[in-house]
């Protein structure tokens, strides 16, 4: 079944604000006094006219009234993990499609670690999520990150392209992959993903100039947009930066 991406894209392009780092990285490494507050992030998403905001279940529940009022499309991330565990990665499932719909989500997100010892289980879990989401007309965004003992460079050409193609093969509508910095490699990844759209993660905070140059390369490579967090909400001027990024996208 083909689901509509109209609620989370504008003319085939998208800018998403990611805020799952509280669980994925922990507050100490990523947050300050301001951006520790989900309402500060929601305000950026609203004023910056983001195509979606990514929250885990707890924030989506506890701030639901404000999320709905903001009209920013909620992308509920259904699994997650802390960075306290070392070794082969696997995210715990913390919510499901039914809950996502109840919370007003316009799409669901799910992390797949290809190359992990647990890859088989992860892809099988994804299968259930994808099937149920599509039955309900909900788009699925897969965070696809090559990880595990065998992966020495998660953003090598080979791994980035493999992540992108995995998105198409497993039935994601959008695959979020990391960009290694080579535009030609990314163009090949976008091509490999076929009708599965590619959005790029932001990574650690960079200078504005460096980040905007990267955004230009990303969009020139044919990607559909970005799903970024730290580079925006760690910025001193998130809305001005958003405007510049939006113009490129």
Q: What amino acid positions are annotated as catalytic residues?
A: 145, 176
Binding to ligand FBP by residue 180, rule CB under 6 A? no
Binding to ligand FBP by residue 59, rule CB under 6 A? no
Binding to ligand FBP by residue 203, rule CB under 6 A? yes
Rounded alpha-carbon distances, angstroms, from residue 14 to 11, 70, 114, 199: 8, 18, 24, 8
Region binding ligand FBP by CB under 6 A among candidate stretches 96-104, 120-128, 187-195, 196-204: 196-204
Region binding ligand FBP by CB under 6 A among candidate stretches 18-26, 58-66, 99-107, 181-189: 18-26
Contacts of 79 (CB under 8 A, 6+ apart): 91, 92, 93, 94, 110, 111, 125
Binding to ligand FBP by residue 217, rule CB under 6 A? no
CB of 59 to ligand FBP, least distance (A): 13
Binding to ligand FBP by residue 167, rule CB under 6 A? no
Contacts of 128 (CB under 8 A, 6+ apart): none
Closer CB to ligand FBP, 203 or 222, in the complex: 203
* Site track 111-150 with ligand FBP (rule: CB under 6 A), x = hit: --------------------------------x-x-----
Which of 116, 230, 238, 245 lies at the binding interface for ligand FBP (CB under 6 A)?
Answer: 230
Whole-angstrom distance, CA of residue 220 vs CA of residue 184: 10
Closer CB to ligand FBP, 26 or 137, in the complex: 26
Binding to ligand FBP by residue 198, rule CB under 6 A? no
Which of 155, 229, 241, 242 lies at the binding interface for ligand FBP (CB under 6 A)?
Answer: 229
Span 60-119, contacts to ligand FBP by CB under 6 A: none
């Amino acid at each position: 079944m083909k689901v509509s991406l109209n609620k989370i894209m504008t003319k085939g392009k998208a800018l998403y604000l990611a805020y799952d780092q509280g669980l994925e990285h922990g507050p100490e490494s990523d947050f300050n006094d301001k951006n520790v507050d989900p309402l500060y992030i929601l305000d950026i998403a609203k004023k910056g006219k983001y195509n979606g905001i990514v929250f885990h279940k707890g924030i989506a529940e506890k701030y639901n009234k404000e999320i709905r009022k903001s009209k920013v499309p909620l992308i509920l991330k259904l699994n997650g993990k802390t960075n306290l565990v070392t070794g082969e990665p696997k995210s715990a499932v913390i919510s499901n499609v039914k809950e996502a719909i109840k919370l007003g989500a316009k799409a669901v997100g799910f992390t797949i670690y290809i190359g992990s010892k647990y890859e088989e289980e992860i892809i099988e879990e994804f299968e259930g999520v994808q099937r149920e989401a599509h039955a309900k007309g909900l788009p699925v965004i897969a965070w696809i990150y090559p990880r595990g003992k065998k992966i020495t460079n998660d953003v090598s050409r080979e791994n980035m392209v493999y992540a992108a193609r995995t998105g198409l093969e497993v039935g994601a509508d959008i695959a979020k992959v990391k960009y290694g910095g080579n535009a030609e490699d990314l163009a090949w990844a976008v091509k490999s993903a076929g009708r599965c759209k590619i959005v790029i993660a932001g990574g650690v905070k960079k200078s504005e100039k460096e980040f905007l140059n990267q955004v230009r390369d990303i969009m020139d490579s044919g990607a559909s947009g970005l799903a970024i967090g730290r580079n925006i909400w760690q910025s001193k001027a998130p809305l001005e930066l958003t405007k510049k990024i939006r113009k490129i996208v």
